[in-house]
A and B are shown apart, each in its own frame.
Chain A
Amino acid sequence: MPYCPRCGVELDYHIKNCPLCQFPIPEIPEENNHINVEKFPRPENKYFEEILKVKNQIFFTLSILILSAVLVLMTINSIIETHPLAINYSIISVIAAWFYILILLGYLSNLYYSILGIGIVTGCLTLALDSVDGKMNWFFTYALPIIILVLLIIYLFLYLYNRSKLLNQFIFIPSYLFIAVALLSVGLECILDFQANQSIHLSWSLIVFIILVSLAVLLLGLYYKLPEMIKEKIKRKLHI
C-alpha cells in the first residue's frame, strides 16, 4: 500500500499526490490480491450543466415573448398608421430588452464584460431612439457622455471593491458608494452645464460632492484609525 512519508497516512494506489499535503507519491505496483475499485466517478460539474439548462429555458421563453411582442407591434404599425414614431420607440425598446436579458442572465461569464455589454446596449438603444425621427438631437451631446461617465465610475468602484473585499465591508462598500455618487453628481452637472451654457459652473453637485466625500473620508479615517498623537489629545481633553 502506498504511504505519504510526510503525513504517515496510507493512501490508495495510483494516487499522484498526498490529498493532505500534496507531497508527490511514487507509483507502486498493486499487490496480487488487491482489487482496485474506484470510489468516486470522475466528477462532472453539475452547476454549469444544470444552471445552463435553466438559463436556456428562461432565455428561450423570454425570447419567444419578445419576438411575439415585436410581431404584434409591427402588425399594429402596418394597420394603424397614426403613431408610427411611438410604435418604433416600442419596437426598439423591446429589442434592447432582449439584449439586456441576454447579458443579465450571465451568458458573458466575466462581470466586466457584462457591464461593458450593458453600456454598449444602452448606447445603441439611445442612439436608435434618438435617430427614429431622422434627426440626432441628444445622443452625442447627452446620452453618450453620460453612459461613458457611468461606466467609468462603475469600473472604478469595482476596482476599489476588489482591492478591499476581504476587509470590513461595512466600511468600504458605503465609502466607495459615497465616492461614486459624488463623482457621478459632479460629472453629470459638468455635462449638463456644458451643453446648456457652453461653460462649467458647479453648484449643487459641489455640495453633494463635499458631503459625500467627507462622509467617506470619515468612515475610512475611523477604520484606519486616527494618528496616535490626535487620539492622545482627544483622550486628554475629553476624558471623563
Chain B
Amino acid sequence: MKQKRAWYKLDNAGKLYPSITSTRVSTVFRISASLYNPVDPEILQKALNNIIGRFPYFKVNLKRGFFWYYFEYTEKYPQVQKETYYPCMFMLYKNKNSFPFRVLYFNNRISVEFSHSITDGMGGIHFLKSLLIEYFRLLGIQPEFQEKISKEEAEDAFKRYYVKNIPKPAKLKKAFHFPFKLNAKGEYYIITGIIPVNMLLEEAKKYSASLTQFLLALYFDTIQEFIRLHPCKLLPVVINLPVNLRNIFPSKTMRNFFISLTPQIDFRLGSYSFEEIINYIRNYMAIALNKKHISQHIHLNVKREKTIFIRLIPLFLKNLMMPALYNKFAERNYTTGLSNLGLITLPKSIENLVERFEVYPPPSMGNIIKVTSISYKDKIYISFGSLTKNTEIEKIFFRKIRKMNIPVKIETNRE
C-alpha cells in the first residue's frame, strides 16, 4: 500500500521535457536491438513483466503537481506493442496514465522508446539489455550475468554533484540552422549508415582522434561543404554533443545524467581543412571535457531549477513559457546534435543471437537533423533522424566516408 503512493520528482534535466513536448518535438528517443529470429511478442511481454519490477523508477505515470510534474508509481504493467508508426513519435503520457516509455516489436527487432523526461541513452541501453537477457532466459538460454541493484540508480545525480557559488559557463549565441522545409506532422525519417567500426577507428587514429572526435569533425566538414555548395546566411556552426557524466562523476543513476558540450566553428572566418577541424575538436575536448568545466554546466542547470522565482511559477505558466525559453537558451543556439553512445556489449551466451543495436535521436523542430551512433561487435550504426525530406547532409556525410574507401550500407524508413 505504501509503495502504491510512492512518487518522485523529475531529475534536473528531465523537468524540462514534459513542458516542451509537442506532437513534433516528441523528446522521445529509440534504442533497438535486431535479433536473428522473429520476436515472440508473448515472451517479450513476459520478459517485460519480469524485469519491470527491477526498474521501479520506470514503472510510473507522469502526474501534474501545482508547480512541477512528478512521477507516481503505478501497479499497472506496460504492454508491448507492434510497431506501426514512424519512430520516436510523441507520447500522450501527460494525461492518459500511460508509461513514459514504450516497448515495440517488429519482425526481428525489439525497440524501446523512452521519453527523455525519465532517462537518457545510458539508462535506455541498460533497460534494453536487461530486457534482452530476460527474453533469452525465457527462451531457455541462461546468460552468465549477475547484476547488483544499486540504490544510486534512482538518484538525481545532478543534485549530488551540484557545486554552489561557482561562475556560470559562457552564453551561446544564435547558431546556423539548416534552411530545409519541415515535413508533415507525424512523419520522422531515419537514415542509418552501417560501417565497419575498425576501419573508421583506423582512419581516426591517423589524426590521433577518438571515434567521437572523428565523427564530430566529419560532421563539421559535412556542414562546411553544404554551406559551400548552398550559400546562405552564415552564423557559427554549433554541434550539441551530449556527454554521459557517469564516467566523470561516478554514479550508477538510471535517470538523466548528461550535459551538452557545444563545439563550434565559424565558417565566416574562411575554409577549414579537415586537419584544422580535428585539431580544433581535440583542443576543445581537452578544455571542455573535465570536471571543472562540466561542474559549471551542472551548476547552471541546477541553479536555474533551484531559483525560488522559477519554482513558484505555476505549472500551466511554466508549460506556456518553457518552449520559448528552451528555444532561446538551447536549440536556437545549436545547429544540430551528435550523440555517440559508444560500444555495446552483451553476455557471451546471447551475443551471437543479437545482430545489431541502433539508436535514433528525438525529433526536434529547432534542430531538424540530429545524429546518433552506437557500436556493436564489428559495426557502427550511424543514424540521422530528420524532420525534413531533404537528404543533402546525409548524402555529403556518407559520401565522405565512402571516399575514405570505407564501405557503407544505407538503410532507411523513407519510402
Contacts and interface: CB of A to CB of B under 8 A. Distances in A.
Given A40-B106, A45-B86, A8 B185 contact: no
A44 B187 CA distance: 9
Interface in B274-304: none
Given A19-B191, A20-B394, A51-B23, A9 B185 contact: no
Contacts of B190: 40
Contact of A9 (B34, B85, B193): B193
Contacts of B411: 12, 19, 39
B172 to A, nearest CB: 20
Interface residues of B, number: 37
Nearest to A166: B179
B409 A10 contact: yes
Contacts of A19: 191, 391, 394, 410-412, 414
Contacts of B86: 43, 45-46
Contacts of B92: 50, 54
Contact of A20 (B109, B187, B191): B191
A10 B106 contact: no
29 contacts: A4-B410, A7-B398, A7-B399, A7-B410, A9-B402, A9-B410, A11-B409, A19-B410, A19-B412, A20-B191, A20-B391, A20-B394, A20-B398, A22-B391, A38-B107, A40-B190, A40-B413, A41-B82, A41-B83, A43-B86, A43-B187, A43-B413, A45-B85, A46-B86, A46-B89, A47-B185, A50-B90, A50-B92, A54-B92
Interface in A171-205: none
Contacts of A7: 395, 398-399, 402, 410
Interface of A: 1, 4, 7-12, 18-22, 37-48, 50-51, 54
Nearest to B104: A41
B83 to A, nearest CB: 5
A7 B412 CA distance: 15
A43 to B, nearest CB: 5
Contacts of B394: 19-20
Nearest to B403: A8
Nearest to A16: B415
A44 B85 contact: yes
A126 B167 CA distance: 61
A45 B411 CA distance: 20
List the 4 shortest-distance A-B pairs measured between CB atoms, nearest first: A47-B186, A45-B186, A19-B412, A20-B395
A70 to B, nearest CB: 29
A42 B395 CA distance: 23
A41 B391 contact: no
A18 B410 CA distance: 9
B398 A46 contact: no
Contact of B399 (A1, A8, A11, A39): A8
B407 interface: yes
B165 interface: no
Contacts of B84: 41, 43-44
A51 B89 CA distance: 12
B86 to A, nearest CB: 5
Nearest to A53: B92
A221 B23 CA distance: 38
Given A8-B399, A45-B187, A51-B23, A20 B410 contact: yes
A12 B415 CA distance: 12
Nearest to B92: A50
Nearest to A19: B412
Contact of A46 (B82, B186, B391, B402): B186
Nearest to A47: B186
A38 B410 CA distance: 14
B108 interface: yes
Contacts of B89: 46-47
B245 interface: no
Contacts of B408: 8-10
